Structure 1
Amino acid sequence: MILGVKVKKLIKHCDDRGFFSELIRDDEPALLSKFGQASWSMSYPGVIKAFHYHEKQDDLWFFPSGNAQVVLHDLRENSLTKGDTDVYYMGEENPIMLFIPKGVAHGYRVLGQKPATIIYFTTESYKPDNPDEKRIPWDDPSISFDWETKNR
């Protein structure tokens, strides 16, 4: 696991009316050091949104609907896991929160036949005039991640 990445397994409290689950609490400082912004996005099946990273902000990702293959790659110079790549499968089939520290490139591919929705929290607000978002192509050879589904 890439140093600093955290996974919180969500607990669903189910009954005959449906379910309830907590995503993040203010007494869980281990997930976000501070609140900057909450955002919501939807992507269609097969879409790859990768890669980008931040120099100042941490991200906390959650996919409430659909499913995604999330790929992380550690770019941090002084990290013990520099150059490591991790893959997480998130969404309806695996409801988790994924904490992504600054300096770790991240992206995802929507799996299955339906769109995926992501809700994410950041420690900084987006600044259109000076965005803290550095982009790397989805097929960058330095990361060399194979996005193809392997039929097994």
Structure 2
Amino acid sequence: MPLEDAIRDHQTITSEGQPTETLVVGVKKKEVPNIITGNGITTELWRPDWDVGPDQIRHMIHVILRGKSISAWHMHDFQVDTFFVINGSIKLVLFDDRADSATRGQTNVFHLSRMRPTLITIPPGIWHGLQNLDHTESSFINYFNNPYIHAEPDEWRLPFDTDKIPYQFQ
């Protein structure tokens, strides 16, 4: 018998290891296998026959986050982001504030690392933030459907500790 006030965990994965959470509408997630080779590990980052990422990659960046740093919150009107962690452990948090979305108000939290390679595609209008969970640098590749426009960035920002989004980074 558990102690008084103990709360049973709710199910987070199926018996096959698949997450039970409902993704925010338009978000796509694909776990990709590591390919163990004779001299290391190879991981495919994207293929056009996968149902994740833009149909055409128009811009790609590599980002390094300092230990325990937070990059939040930001949102795009037109840009589709696709994330792939290549080093370290990163928490990616999504918040759907789109007026016409069936998942408006919903939050998704992903723990991403090289140990379980995963692509996450975020459609326009979804607020997102990243937190490096490690004390050392972590990094990711981010690719987009549109090139960055330096003179008129498609970037909207809120501080990481805003009360406008129902999630607080720890």
Under a length normalisation based on structure 1, what TM-score does the superposition of the two structures give? 0.92
Match of 1:86 in 2: 108
> Does residue 19 of the first structure (1) align with residue 18 of the second (2)?
no
**Residue ranges of structure 2 left out of the alignment (5+ in a row):** 1-22
Aligned residue identity for 1:56: F
Larger Rg: 2
Q: 2:143 aligns with which of 116, 121, 130?
A: 121
Task: Considering fraction of residues, name the structure with more strand.
Answer: 1
User: Structure 1 residue runs of 4+, over 3 Å off?
Assistant: none
**Residue ranges of structure 1 left out of the alignment (5+ in a row):** none
Under a length normalisation based on structure 2, what TM-score does the superposition of the two structures give? 0.82
Alignment of 1:1-152 (within 5 A): 1-28=23-50, 30-148=52-170
Q: Evaluate the alpha carbon distance shift between residue 54 and residue 111 of structure 1 in structure 2; reply closer, same or farther with a 3 A threshold.
A: same
Stretch moving more, 39-48 or 19-28: 19-28
Q: Give the deviation of 1:30 after TM superposition.
A: 4.1
8 A contact 2:92–2:129 mirrored in 1: yes
Aligned length: 148
Q: Give the deviation of 1:29 after TM superposition.
A: 5.1
The higher-RCO structure (CA 8 Å, 6+ apart) is 1
Whole-Å Cα distance in 1 between the matches of residues 74 and 52 of structure 2? 23
Q: Give the deviation of 1:34 after TM superposition.
A: 2.5
1:61 is paired with a residue whose SS is: strand
- Root-mean-square deviation (Å): 1.3
